[in-house]
Amino acid sequence: MLLFTLKKIIRNKWMVSCLLIGAIAFVTILSVIPTYSNGVYRHMLLRDMESQQIRTGQYPGNWFMSILIRSSAFEHAEGFQHAREVEHLLQNRYIPNMDVPILASRKHYSLDRFFFYPRTMNRRQMVSIHGIENIWNHVDIIEGRQPSAVRGHSSDDPTYGVLEFAMSRTDYLQSDIRLGQEFDIFTYSLPADIDRQFGQAVAVGVFEPRFEEPFWFSDLGFASTTFVVDYDYFVERFVETESSFVSSVSFFYCFDYSEIRPENISNILDTTRRVRSHIQATGTLNFQMENTLRVYNERRATLEFMLWILIIPILIILVFYIYMVSKLMISHESNEIAVLKSRGARNTQVFSSYALISVFIAAVAFATGPPLGLLIGRVLGLSNGFMEFVARRGIPLELSKYAFLYAALAAVLFIIVMLIPALKATRDTIVKSKQKKSRRVSAPLWQKLWVDVVLIAVSLYALFMYYSSAEVRAIADVAGTDVPVDPLVLLASSLFVLGAGLAFLRIFPLIVKFIYHIGKNIWPPTLYSTLLSISRFKGSSQFLALFLVFNIGLGVFSATAARTLNLFLEDRIRYDIGADIVLTQNWSSEILFYRAEVDTESGELSYHRIPPPMHEGGSAGGTADNEIIVTRTRTSEPPFDVFQNLEGVEYATRVFTRTEVRITEGQRNATAALMGIVPHEFGRIAWLRSDLLPAHMNEYLNLMTADPSAIFMSTAMRDEFGFRVGDRVRIGWRDQSGNLDSTVYGFVDHWPSINPITQPHFIVANLNTIHRQMRIEPYAVWINLEDTTTSYEFYTALNDAEIRVATISDTNQELVILKNDPMLQGMNGTLTLSFLITLAITFIGFLIYWILSIRSRLLQFGILRAMGLSRTGLLTTLAWEQLLVSGTAIAAGFGVGALASYLFVPTLQFMYAPSEQMPAFLITSDINDYFALFIAVGGMLIVGLLILTMMLRKLKPDQVLKLGED
């Protein structure tokens, strides 16, 4: 059997090679998911942990737990028992379960609430006594020595039982203690004159902690002067005897967060939760990176979810490809299978030969797939956009057990898909094979069951369910990955393209028959023969057409989805910031005091500035009890002209914002956010996508220029409060004595930098009008840079001009950060990979079909040539057939892909919460993507024609007819 299988592989080496390509691609793509997601997760985690450490000055891997032994919830003995139980669980279950390398650990007992009396001094001082495991391995003794474990050799020795202790250098310098000095120690609750002292102690050393070591990454939390004694002596004297003075025990573990594996995050969080639940009555647990791990665990799920959404279409394409190639190979060998069956071969023997071939191919794919997946994952990390790669430091990736698990799963799926047509073919005998060829082919099962209609209906149902759930997500303001997602949403686009492809197969033969009957008396022989052949559209021709429609459709969908997602994320940054640069300056301010006085004759209120009142007496600033003092804040506006003259700045404008202002009109009252702008300057600088307003933004700004009192309100204010165009409103806010009289000129849904979801009530007014009627308050500066100016050059110019900046938002820098975001890199890389694999698989499948199709029809071609059809006429016939079958399928694929993009690309918004979907998705495509597709499919058709020409040149009718007789 092995020899027979080996000969079969050699005889079908090109077909087996094509299957091997599909198998390797299938295994590789599946193994990429865990490899890339784990690498991205570790990259993001390490980067943010390092940033957190720099920002807070604390090591994120610190895990600190403290248990109170003297607790109101426990008797002291029960407290000791509880602490020992927790210690046992930590050492034998909880910490090992986390499976994270430990840089350092520490166990720490403390005795608090003591006074010590130096025998040479008449005063007392509060102290605490500590036993800290392994502390002497992490300190430097700078004076004296470390405490001894034994003081004296027997109870008769006067030094027996005296506590030797050492102090930190800080404590030592802040106290009057000297080495060799002896003390009497009393409990806190006992008066000093009662002879119930706790014990005696002597200072023997001073130490300096090695703070650079992980042992000290967590503070010991000393609250008073600290005596550190030998740990073994402390345990023997106070812990093993369950001393009533032991107040607490703490456990510290410094985890190496750089070695945390993504698949272990859930276990770490779950273990921490269980420990906290176990000690909630008696202790506390502080895990520095717990929240970060929880957030990143959610982000990892989002990333994997996104990769699955994007990779599922590729997997379906590969399944189609594998099935098509294996079916073509088995169809090509149908006569051989029938002959073997007629000569006594059993079904299992024939099937086993194909099973061995599939296992051989799967084994090779399993061995090569994960390493290739690692390579592709690194390439994905270099993605800077769809079909765009840049030279940057890649994301560190490594193969995990999950990569090989996914690869094994892919190999098994490949075997199943390849053996489906083999299982069907082994049931045929030579009689059944001849009968199938002579009988009229009935409609395939999928047409009888209306599978195409079912698939389209299911995909549209999934689309309907998505938009229904969108209302729930909008209310809760959560991303789709935070709530259960219908699996149909993931497959909806693929199901729609597949259903549309099957619908094309149903309709296309009818159209061809209609064309055939219209001109069957006038068509030339070449076209007549082609139309007649296509009207009998069946078998592998149908599968090729479906393969082309599906692949091209998903290729168009992938390209559109990539362009749309990239545009959405970039537009979100531009919209949120509003301009190239938005900054605020440091404004100086002072509080002015005024005395309010009422004129007795006119009754008018007047204000007189006075010096600041003094809180504790004084003359000039003092106030009488019946005086009314009013304060006003005066701010000093920094020069604005400096920005307009700054090198690299094209335009600059002032933008004033206020979060809450009062709006009144008759009996109507509302609260909204205010934005004050200079219209003619704002129009040159602000960014707003053209589809977000009914008219161009400049049309609104022109109205504000014509009437300085004009304002625009959000549509939500019109709907909720009943404001109408032409309303005269008054606007005021805290710290302003006057009001702004304005006229409502219109309503807008969006405005630069204002998110109507999180800030539905807003108004836009003329800043010059605000400054004329109200006191000037700090505003932001919006800047549009020249095209050639970089952010570095702008920051340098700011520094040279000595401009003090409080806050700054830079659109270009945010876009750079976005491009380096691993999730976006993965999305772009995956969609690019999907696009390229679609082209490659389509090309290979196309060539395989036409080569095998020509070989299987050599007898037909020989008969046509013998009947007098020229080689040119035969080539023309095949060219017409290729154009009508492949060309029409490719055109249908473009149309189906465009329709699927229009319907299903907006569903990708579910990865973001509604408040993050601003501005909304705008379906976008790039002509270059379609150009690449056109080149690929055009190249396929040209190569196909060349192959047809070469094969027909070698065609010899006499040999073919003789072969037919045999």
Distance CA 493, CA 472 (A): 22
In 3D space, the residue among 33, 101, 40, 60 whose CA is nearest the CA of residue 260 turns out to be: 101
pLDDT at 881: 75
Q: Which residue has the tokens 């890389």?
A: 829
What tokens does 501 get?
């492809």
Question: Is residue 789 pLDDT above 90, yes or no?
Answer: no
pLDDT at 303: 67
**Percent of residues, the chain, with pLDDT higher than 90:** 12
Quick check: 317 and 493 in contact, CB under 8 A?
no
Beta bridge partners of 744: 711
Q: Give the relative orientation of helices 487-518 and 888-904 as an angle to the nearest 10 degrees.
A: 150
Q: Which of 158-167, 621-630, 877-886 has the lowest mean pLDDT?
A: 621-630
Q: What is the three-class DSSP state of 202?
A: strand
- The confidence band for 940, taking pLDDT boundaries of 50, 70 and 90, is confident
Question: Is residue 656 pLDDT above 90, yes or no?
Answer: yes
Question: Is residue 488 pLDDT above 80, yes or no?
Answer: no
Average pLDDT of the residues in 118-138: 74
Task: Give the helix/strand (H/E) hosting 863.
Answer: helix 858-866
The torsion defined by the Cα of 713, 717, 723 and 725, in degrees rounded to 10, comes to 30
Q: How does 790-808 read in b/e, with b if 16+ C-beta sit within 10 Å?
A: ebeebbebbeeeebeeeeb
Quick check: 603 and 589 in contact, CB under 8 A?
no
660-711: per-residue pLDDT in tens?
A: 899 998 888 899 999 999 999 999 999 998 888 999 999 999 999 999 999 9
What tokens does 859 get?
């007898």
What tokens does 921 get?
């998705």
Q: Give the relative orientation of helices 487-518 and 525-535 as an angle to the nearest 10 degrees.
A: 140
Quick check: 922 and 564 in contact, CB under 8 A?
yes
- Kindly report the three-state secondary structure assignment for every residue of 369-387: HHHHHHHHHHHHCCEEECC
Distance CA 261, CA 267 (A): 10
Count of positions (residues) in the chain: 966
> Judging by DSSP bridges, how do beta strands 805-810 and 762-766 pair with one another?
unpaired
Evaluate if pTM is beyond 0.85: no
pLDDT at 288: 78
Distance CA 502, CA 500 (A): 5
Q: How does 283-292 read in b/e, with b if 16+ C-beta sit within 10 Å?
A: bebebbbbeb
pLDDT at 369: 87
Position 735, amino acid: D
Q: What is the DSSP string of 54-68?
A: HHHSS-TTEEEEEEE
510-560: per-residue pLDDT in tens?
A: 877 777 777 777 777 667 767 766 666 555 567 777 878 888 888 888 888
464-483: per-residue pLDDT in tens?
A: 887 777 665 555 545 544 55
Question: Is residue 824 pLDDT above 80, yes or no?
Answer: no
Kindly give the residue spans of alpha helices, DSSP state H, lying in 519-601.
525-535, 539-577
Question: Is residue 739 pLDDT above 90, yes or no?
Answer: no
**What single-letter DSSP state applies at residue 334?**
H
Return the ∠ at Cα 773 (arms to 770 and 777), rounded to 5°: 55
In 3D space, the residue among 699, 863, 675 whose CA is nearest the CA of residue 770 turns out to be: 675
Q: How does 664-689 read in b/e, with b if 16+ C-beta sit within 10 Å?
A: ebeeeebebbbbbbbbebbbebbbbb
What tokens does 735 get?
């710290």
Beta bridge partners of 253: 63, 105
Beta bridge partners of 810: 581
Of 183-187, 392-396, 599-603, where does the model show the most confidence?
183-187
Distance CA 256, CA 59 (A): 10
What tokens does 959 get?
């040999």
Quick check: 301 and 135 in contact, CB under 8 A?
no
Quick check: 111 and 128 in contact, CB under 8 A?
yes
624, burial (CB in 10 Å: exposed 0-12, middle 13-18, buried 19+)? exposed
Quick check: 516 and 531 in contact, CB under 8 A?
yes
Distance CA 884, CA 83 (A): 81
pLDDT at 193: 43
Quick check: 861 and 960 in contact, CB under 8 A?
yes
The torsion defined by the Cα of 834, 835, 838 and 841, in degrees rounded to 10, comes to -90
593, burial (CB in 10 Å: exposed 0-12, middle 13-18, buried 19+)? middle
329-373: per-residue pLDDT in tens?
A: 777 776 677 667 666 667 677 778 888 888 888 999 999 988 888
- The confidence band for 115, taking pLDDT boundaries of 50, 70 and 90, is low
18 vs 368, residue with greater confidence: 368
pLDDT at 843: 76
- The confidence band for 322, taking pLDDT boundaries of 50, 70 and 90, is confident
Average pLDDT of the residues in 792-797: 89
pLDDT at 687: 92
547 vs 792, residue with greater confidence: 792
- The confidence band for 190, taking pLDDT boundaries of 50, 70 and 90, is very low
Q: What is the DSSP string of 847-860?
A: HHHHHHHHHHTHHH
Beta bridge partners of 597: 606
Q: Which residue has the tokens 């985890």?
A: 255
CA distances (Å), origin 686, targets 577, 580, 809: 9, 8, 14
Question: Is residue 572 pLDDT above 50, yes or no?
Answer: yes
> Judging by DSSP bridges, how do beta strands 246-255 and 102-118 pair with one another?
antiparallel
Quick check: 142 and 92 in contact, CB under 8 A?
no
Q: State phi, psi for 316 to the nearest 5 degrees.
A: -65, -40
Residue 294, CB-side half-sphere exposure with 13 Å CA sphere: 11
Q: What is the DSSP string of 261-313?
A: -GGGHHHHHHHHHHHHHHTTTTEEEEETTHHHHHHHHHHHHHHHHHHHHHHHH
pLDDT at 600: 63
pLDDT at 539: 52
Question: Is residue 772 pLDDT above 60, yes or no?
Answer: yes
Give residues with Cβ within 8 angstroms of 589, minimum separation 6.
633, 634, 635, 636
Q: What is the DSSP string of 872-929?
A: HHHHHHHHHHHIIIIIHHHHHHHHHHHHHHHHHGGGGGGGS-GGG--SPP-----HHH
Distance CA 783, CA 643 (A): 8
Average pLDDT of the residues in 876-898: 82
825-875: per-residue pLDDT in tens?
A: 767 777 777 777 777 777 777 777 777 667 666 666 777 777 777 777 777
What tokens does 567 get?
């545009």
Question: Is residue 152 pLDDT above 60, yes or no?
Answer: no
